[in-house]
């Protein structure tokens, strides 16, 4: 614990675990039948991107309870990234998103393998769904086979059940709210369950539970994680519409075309006059959107100060998260790194 925290080195360690696991699993699939190569290929690249924030939060939940560095814990923390990989495959499928990290999403990439088949589009979607399912199963396998003592894993197992349940609930709530009248409270609830909890709070608590953390520490980490997780997704929603596609790796019109229940859209709708709402309603959900529509929506949002309100929410939630670290009994380095991670998670362009 005396060594300085090196995010780049940590990412390399997590990447090595994931690359080895996914390469081995891809090889096992191909050994079953060479026709499975396209699916194996999606497994190989499924977790190649990301800052490894979810693994980092699990790692520092462990350290916050005073535990030392551990290769076994690193493997358990890396499983959080497979949860994220599974969630993104499913999310892209639900939203019919064409791009992720600047590359075709799983269901789009798999069409090439099925180009000469009837119903190729539908078949590619089915296969992508199964890739996502397999990634979630591999996450559980990596966690269970991390090498940590069984008693440690038992302490964290209920949180795994919570993570899966609430992630699915968040996706379902988003589907139910998509296309409905924009509502800020509904949007924030979707954010909490679809992203905030599995991105920050639950990885932190899994790490802390593995380490045998006290109830008081877990409560502080939970409060930190919920506030920061919401700030993280609010930043993501803002980048989704106002970010540069070459940096975000996503299509800027996705949220408007899909009429997704983002907080940014909900706050815009809430502040809009009747004529502005009527104009916005003619744009939302259209399949033929172009850059002129994007420009119009951005200008309306800016006029109504919705982006600034989102920035204010991000700032207030980030401050709240860091405040929950104060007065909590944890090693100084853990407090410092969690404070730094709060900034890294919310002050970003990608």
Residue 155 sits in which domain range? Answer: 8-346
In this model, does residue 3 exceed pLDDT 80? Answer: no
Q: By C-alpha distance, which of 287, 293, 286, 237 is closest to 265? A: 237
Task: Collapse the DSSP code of 6 into the 3-class scheme (helix H, G, I; strand E, B; otherwise coil) and give the result.
Answer: coil
What number of CA atoms fall less than 13 Å from residue 169's CA on the CB side?
Answer: 14
- Number of domains comprising the chain: 1
| Residues facing residue 100 across a β-bridge | 103
Residue 203 within a domain: yes
Quick check: is 2 in a domain? Answer: no
**Does residue 2 have a pLDDT over 50?**
no
Residue 99's beta-bridge partner residues? 104
CA distance 189 to 185: 6
The C-alpha atoms of residue 152 and residue 203 are separated, in whole angstroms, by: 15
| Residue 87: CATH number of its domain | 1.10.600.10
- What is the rounded end-to-end Cα distance, in angstroms, of the chain? 30
Give the pLDDT band of residue 350 (cuts 50, 70, 90): low
Band the pLDDT of 248: cuts 50, 70, 90: low
Position 1 in a domain: no
State the average pLDDT over residues 8-14. Answer: 97
Q: Who contacts 266 (Cβ-Cβ below 8 Å, separation ≥6)?
A: 182, 183, 184, 186, 187
Question: Is residue 283, in this structure, part of any structural domain at all?
Answer: yes
pLDDT in tens, 287-306: 888 888 888 999 999 999 99
Whether 317 maps to a domain, the answer reads yes
Chain segment 172-185, per-residue pLDDT in tens: 999 999 988 899 99
Residue 320 forms part of a structural domain: yes
The mean pLDDT value of the chain amounts to 93
DSSP secondary structure, 168-188, as one string: HHHHHHHHHHTTS---HHHHH
Q: Is the dihedral of CA 147, 149, 150, 156 positive or negative?
A: negative
Length of the chain in terms of residues written: 350
pLDDT tens figures, 208-245? 999 999 999 999 999 999 999 999 999 999 998 888 77
């Amino acid at each position: 614990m005396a060594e300085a925290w090196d995010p780049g080195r940590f990412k390399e360690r997590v990447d090595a675990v994931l690359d080895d696991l996914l390469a081995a699993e891809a090889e096992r699939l191909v050994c079953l039948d060479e026709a499975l190569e396209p699916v194996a290929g999606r497994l190989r690249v499924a977790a190649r991107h990301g800052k490894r924030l979810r693994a980092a939060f699990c790692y520092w939940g462990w350290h916050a309870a005073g535990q030392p560095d551990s290769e076994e814990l690193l493997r358990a923390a890396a499983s959080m990234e497979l949860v994220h990989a599974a969630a993104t495959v499913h999310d892209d499928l639900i939203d019919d998103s064409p791009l992720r990290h600047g590359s075709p999403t799983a269901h789009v990439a798999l069409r090439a393998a099925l180009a000469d088949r009837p119903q190729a589009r539908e078949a590619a979607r089915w296969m992508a769904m199964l890739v996502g399912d397999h990634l979630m199963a591999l996450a559980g396998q990596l966690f269970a086979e991390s090498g940590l003592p069984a008693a440690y894993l038992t302490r964290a197992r209920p949180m795994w059940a919570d993570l899966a349940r609430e992630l699915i609930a968040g996706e379902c709530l988003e589907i139910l709210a998509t296309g409905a009248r924009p509502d800020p409270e509904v949007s924030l609830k979707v954010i909490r369950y679809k992203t905030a909890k599995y991105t920050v709070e639950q990885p932190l608590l899994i790490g802390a539970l593995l380490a045998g953390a006290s109830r008081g520490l877990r409560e502080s980490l939970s409060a930190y994680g919920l506030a920061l997780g919401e700030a993280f997704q609010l930043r993501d929603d803002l980048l989704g519409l106002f970010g540069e596609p070459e940096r975000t790796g996503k299509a800027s019109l996705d949220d408007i075309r899909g009429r997704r229940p983002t907080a940014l859209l909900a706050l815009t709708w809430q502040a809009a006059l009747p004529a502005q709402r009527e104009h916005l309603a003619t744009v939302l959900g259209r399949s033929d959107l172009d850059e002129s529509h994007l420009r119009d929506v951005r200008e309306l949002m800016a006029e109504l100060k919705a982006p600034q309100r989102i920035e204010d929410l991000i700032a207030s939630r980030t401050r709240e998260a860091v405040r929950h670290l104060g007065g909590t009994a944890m090693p100084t380095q853990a407090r410092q790194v969690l404070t730094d991670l709060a900034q890294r998670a919310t002050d970003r362009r990608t």
